[in-house]
Amino acid sequence: MINLIGYYSLIIGLVISLSIVFLSIKNLRNSEKFDQRITVSIVTQFFLVVVSFFSLILSFINSDFSNETVFNNSHTTEPLFYKITGTWGNHEGSLLLWLLVLTLYLLIFLFRSKSQPKDYKIFTTLFQQIIVIGFFIFLIKTSNPFNYIYPTPNEGLGLNPILQDPALAIHPPILYLGYVGTSIIFSSVLGAICADQVSREWASHIKKWAVTSWIFLTFGILLGSIWAYYELGWGGFWFWDPVENISLMPWLALVTLIHCITVFEKRLILSSWVIVLSISTFTLSMCGTFLVRSGILNSIHTFANDPERGLYILIFLFTLIFLSILIFIFFFKNEKKELGSIYWMSKETSILVNNWFMMYFLSVVLLGTTYPIFLEVITSDKISVGPPFYHKLILPFLIPFLIAMAIGPKLKWIKSNLKNKINLILFFIISFLISFLIMSTIKVKFLFNTILLSSAFYLFFVSLKDFFKNKINNFSQNIAHFGFSLLILSILFNNFLSKEVITNLKIGESFQSKDLKISFESLNQNTISNYESLVGKFNIENSKGDTEILYPELRIYNQPNIVTSEADIKISLWSDKFMTMNYVNNQEYFNIRYQTKPFMIWIWISTLIITIGGFTSLLKKRHEN
């Protein structure tokens, strides 16, 4: 019964979508006021999607294995929390969550846009409904979350054990709030073009949606990074995995878009660039959806489903791109004169330069992610693009980017003379001397890393000074830039100072080096509701005589029958102690991996600071100077 309610709610929701399109077109032709029947229909549509989503949740809670999605992704021994989060831990459920957020954003848009022109609201609603209809059809025809199984199995296959984690449970909804938020930006820019409303007021309106999407996307990426750090046993925060890159690309585009909108608000220039970025940001989000669900990516994060599903998304995406290009070419009227020329020494020039850097970084990530796919299609050769590719192409350009990011906010709009030159030069000298001393002490590759660290320190000192001097209406910018400088410094120190020991040990043995001693003291077995646990006890003693006890764990899940490695991490403000253990096949030995990861917690803290900077920008009433 619950499955039928969920399924027919989707069917009725699709019918209402078609009626909203009809009402919107009719309202454009026949009335000067916004037709409130459209609002009522959108509220009803959202309610039906909520009913469908909660029907699926109830099916998971009740372990209704007559539902194919529940059967494939749940088990009676799973804790209730993971039964619920299993709702979106699969292809069908995650798409239903996509649809839920799509309709939620449209509903919020209507209520937050009462003062906007009627035609703009209707066009935005129309384009958003095209996306909604596409996802309704995708769900119902190819990815129905309410498919029926007969006879009903007694047990399900269970949720993938690596998804049974609190951080990953809330990671997809937060990430989707960021991804799907770009759909409103996309619909809004097309609506503004069609209604001839690409103006300063429109830019201020859409900037809030861009910042909101960016906040959720940033926080979602942070949760995913933390999860990968302690759950997958990789021992780091970012590994340039294809699905990690897919989330990074729209993030980079959103950062660029937000800064371009700021310029457009002030000068009414870069309007075409704002439109292109708005379309590109949504396109990148949809490309991520295609790649994750097409089965062509080799990643721990992918759903790896039928490529035909990916083909549907690809065709739908190309349709949306083609539609947006036609609208941009034939309907965009760039008749507004620019308010003066762009001088090379001005804030808008600094933003434009930094945007070029951001687009370069985006291009590198896009190339590294998609090149192996196209190469395999053309030549059948499989390759993987790893961290060295990204580091070699990105790090050299990171130096001028950080310096420009430090100097740019000091400039004024239209035309500027750089003030406080002595302070800026002094900060650079101090940054270089500190970096020189650090690099000399830790003895890594000297010249390039000294310059790179100097540029990071330079941004850090300049951003820190801005906290105490700049106006309050630049507060959000100061927080975000300071958080970014702290993030870069934390990443660099984490990279320079990390240490790792990999060895094979059996119970009672020890590993000895000049810096530390690792002793495998014992192995204890525990039984949990849905898995068996093997917990190792390791004593870590460093050269100073300080000791640490770590308890890495192996979990043998009963359904599905999978072994996972759970890291034990001792967290401090300065350095994490990280240990995992794994089976060595057909031997008494265990493979032990022990790492020290300096400044790891500051990577998470700095990302939170960046997010707070975005959040404060939503609260302020005045534009930044």
DSSP string of 33-97? S--HHHHHHHHHHHHHHHHHHHHHHHHHHTT-TTBHHHHHH--TTS-HHHHHHGGGSSHHHHHHH
Query: pLDDT at position 583, please?
Result: 87
- Co-location of 144 and 249 in the same domain: no
- Of 164, 194, 228, the position where a domain reaches its end is 164
Rounded to whole angstroms, the Cα distance separating 130 from 133 reads 5
- Co-location of 288 and 309 in the same domain: yes
Angle between helices 118-142 and 166-194 (to 10 degrees): 130
- Co-location of 15 and 146 in the same domain: yes
The verdict on residue 181 lying in a domain is yes
- Co-location of 62 and 204 in the same domain: no
Please report, as a single letter, which amino acid is at residue 244.
E
622 pLDDT higher than 70: no
The verdict on residue 482 lying in a domain is no
- Co-location of 178 and 151 in the same domain: no
The verdict on residue 503 lying in a domain is yes
Q: Which of 18-27, 307-316, 449-458, 513-522 shows the lowest mean pLDDT across its residues?
A: 307-316
Query: pLDDT at position 268, please?
Result: 81
Rounded to whole angstroms, the Cα distance separating 500 from 511 reads 13
- Residue 32 belongs to what domain range? 1-164
In the chain, pLDDT over 70 holds for what percent of residues? 92
The verdict on residue 210 lying in a domain is yes
Rounded to whole angstroms, the Cα distance separating 525 from 538 reads 15
Rounded to whole angstroms, the Cα distance separating 592 from 235 reads 13
Query: pLDDT at position 115, please?
Result: 86
Rounded to whole angstroms, the Cα distance separating 394 from 357 reads 10
Return all residues near 463 (Cβ < 8 A) that are at least 6 apart.
Answer: 406, 478, 481, 482, 484, 485
| pLDDT per position as a tens digit, 34-57 | 888 999 999 999 999 999 999 999
- Of 357, 385, 419, the position where a domain reaches its end is 419
What's the total number of domains in the chain? 3
Closest of 276, 313, 265, 320 to residue 291, by C-alpha: 313
Cis, peptide link before residue 79, omega less than 30° from 0: no
- Co-location of 294 and 363 in the same domain: yes
Coil, strand or helix: which one is 620?
coil
- Co-location of 132 and 184 in the same domain: no
N residues, the chain: 625
The verdict on residue 25 lying in a domain is yes
Strand partners, 516: 542
- Co-location of 75 and 95 in the same domain: yes
Rounded to whole angstroms, the Cα distance separating 281 from 365 reads 14
Query: pLDDT at position 13, please?
Result: 96
pLDDT confidence tier of residue 473, bands split at 50, 70 and 90: low
Q: Which H/E stretch holds residue 131?
A: helix 118-142
- Co-location of 130 and 243 in the same domain: no
Rounded to whole angstroms, the Cα distance separating 570 from 568 reads 7
441 pLDDT higher than 90: no
Joined together, the tokens standing for residue 476 give 């959000």
Q: Which H/E stretch holds residue 342?
A: none
Q: Which H/E stretch holds residue 602?
A: helix 600-619
- Co-location of 204 and 129 in the same domain: no
- Co-location of 215 and 355 in the same domain: yes
- Co-location of 357 and 386 in the same domain: yes
- Burial letters for 579-591: b for 16+ Cβ neighbours within 10 Å, e otherwise? bbbbeeeeeebbe
The verdict on residue 460 lying in a domain is no
Query: pLDDT at position 625, please?
Result: 40
Rounded average pLDDT over 154-159? 86
In the block, which residue shows the tokens 């309007």? 271
What is residue 559's DSSP assignment? S
341 pLDDT higher than 80: no
- Of 375, 395, 419, the position where a domain reaches its end is 419
Alpha helices in 380-445, H assignment, sequence order: 387-407, 421-442
Rounded average pLDDT over 13-27? 94
Rounded average pLDDT over 267-289? 88
